[in-house]
Amino acid sequence: MPIVSGRLYGFPMTRSSQSVAYRQPSVLRSAADGRHLGLETSRGATPTGVEDHPRFFAGFLTSPQVAAAGLLAVADVAAARYFQPQLRASLDPVVTGNGDRLRFESFSGCGGVYARLDVLGAGLDGGQVGHGTTNVDVNNPLREALSRLGSDDPLHLRVGPEELTVTTLDGPVVEKKVPLPDRWLRGFAEAQVTAAGFDLRAELPADEAVRFLRSLPRAGTARRGATGPRWVVPAGRSLRPTTRPVPGAVCLPGPERLGALQRVLRHATALRVYGPQGALAASGTAAAWEVVLPGMRLTLTLSPDPARGFSGEGGVLDALATDEAAEDAELVAVLLAWEPRVDVADLAASAGLTPERVRAALVRLGTSGRVGYDTAEAAYFHRELPYDAGRVERHNPRLRSARALVAAGAVALDGELGTVTAEDGHVHRVRDAAGVLSCSCLWWAKYRGGRGPCKHALAVRMVRRGAAVEHGGRQNVAQDMAEIGGGA
């Protein structure tokens, strides 16, 4: 795929052109035997290899209106930018067949909201769910048709092409080319790492869930001058706002970003809120908001701030930096088998690894889109994003900078203390206290580890793990540092 450079409000951004081809547009139509919703698939991964237009399901939806509203909510997020909204984004959702359920996923164009609709076994009827992952076409005419769906009469769902018995097509008749920012791809990886640290913090019944979500500001109605994160804390059957991260509180940064949940509120049976364990950062934390629906779940995961996408969180850096995790990931990948729920203990036994090494391998697989994380089941699931997996690592500036420092011999260890001499001659001291690294650099002073390790701490950790010093002269290291701007 050709790589081109773009610029967004003065910030450099690398994009690639992703071709997404379909045999025909997705459509909702009426027939003599009822209504039919046909969702067309693009090229995707399956257990038997890559297929041009895989077929994952043909059967009925038990709650057609609910499924239509949930699918529209996922499409809303794919087409939205919650930060700098004047720049539009429209990326086709991703669908995964896990054998017992269908998952529809999307990411906002600004990289700060991850959406997933899980259509569980109870929401499907009369068809076997296949295995694999691909893009699915959700076009504007289909959105309009779904929004007009007014009854719960039986609705037949087809995910994948129809059986072509009369004629054949000589290739795709619908093709889209969409720009895919690298930060969008990294966001998929970081969101699942972040969600893996969440616990269930609150659960509201349907009436309280509707009341609370309808009380939140909509996009474009947030008060001017409102700054900083919002917080909510469980109070009886509902949630009450609080001005600071008190014990038990959950961060609600940019509440208007939950607007996509409005589509499904009248079908909601409960609202579950997930947040990180332990102390909360005053600057804000990520959280997941899940609406429970008949036979389905719709989850939105929000980044810690509307102006802060998941791509810069740095939760995957440790897993990317260790050769051991890379080797373990290759082994674990063979054993995943498109499972809807990855059991770490079973994987550890099958792979002959410790659970800790399996989790590190899953994090690394997540960086290339090969696993996601389901907060409702507190488990990873197997999927294969239809994008270039290597780009996540290649375009992570902190990781590349850390490797350049290691290659330059810039790291010296003295017990718990590590000294890193930067290219410009500045000396940074990295201290290891019970496995938690801190650094004297400006990055650490600003984020205090809240966005993953800085490049100096990452370099020290790589050396401690025995990372091999890369070959290549000082000139190559300098060129590499100049290319990435020496960013933290």
**Model confidence pLDDT, tens digit, residues 404-422:** 898 899 999 988 899 999 8
Q: In this predicted structure, what is the pLDDT of residue 117?
A: 98
* Mean of all residue pLDDT scores within the chain: 80
Q: Is 223 a member of any domain?
A: no
> Which of the listed residues 310, 328, 346 is the one where a domain comes to its end?
310
pLDDT reported for residue 370: 86
Closest CA to 402 of 322, 449, 364, 456: 456
- Is the pTM for the entire model greater than 0.85? no
What value does the mean pLDDT take over residues 14-34? 78
- Could you give the CA distance from residue 388 to residue 184 in angstroms, rounded to a whole number? 12
Please state, in angstroms and rounded to a whole number, the distance separating the CA atoms of residues 458 and 413. Answer: 13
Same domain, 146 and 41: yes
Residues 385, 403: one domain?
no
In a domain, 184, yes or no: no
Q: Which of 88, 112, 114 is nearest to 307 (CA)?
A: 112
Same domain, 282 and 154: no
Between 477 and 142, residue with greater pLDDT:
142
Split at pLDDT 50, 70, 90, the class of 187 is confident
Residue 8 has pLDDT above 80, yes or no: no
- For the segment 68-126, what is each residue's pLDDT rounded down to a tens digit? 999 999 999 988 888 776 555 567 899 999 999 999 999 888 888 999 999 999 999 98
Same domain, 38 and 131: yes
Count of the separate structural domains present in the chain: 4
For residues 195-206, average pLDDT: 93
At residue 321, the pLDDT reads 61
Non-local (6+) Cβ contacts of 174 within 8 A are 21, 22, 23, 24, 25, 40, 137
Give how far Cα 352 sits from Cα of 207, 346, 349, 358, Å.
48, 10, 5, 9
Establish if 225 belongs to a structural domain: no
Better-scored residue on pLDDT, 97 or 446 = 97
pLDDT of 385: 79
Highest mean pLDDT among 164-168, 175-179, 234-238, 470-474: 234-238
- We report the CATH number of the domain holding residue 10 as 3.10.150
96 and 114 fall within a common domain: yes
Q: What is the mean pLDDT of residues 184-195?
A: 79
Q: Please report, for the domain that includes residue 332, its CATH number.
A: 1.10.10.10
pLDDT at 364: 81
Q: Decide if 374 is inside a domain.
A: yes
> Whole domain around residue 306: which residue ranges?
190-216+231-310
* Percent of the chain predicted with pLDDT > 90: 39
Determine the pLDDT at residue 57.
95
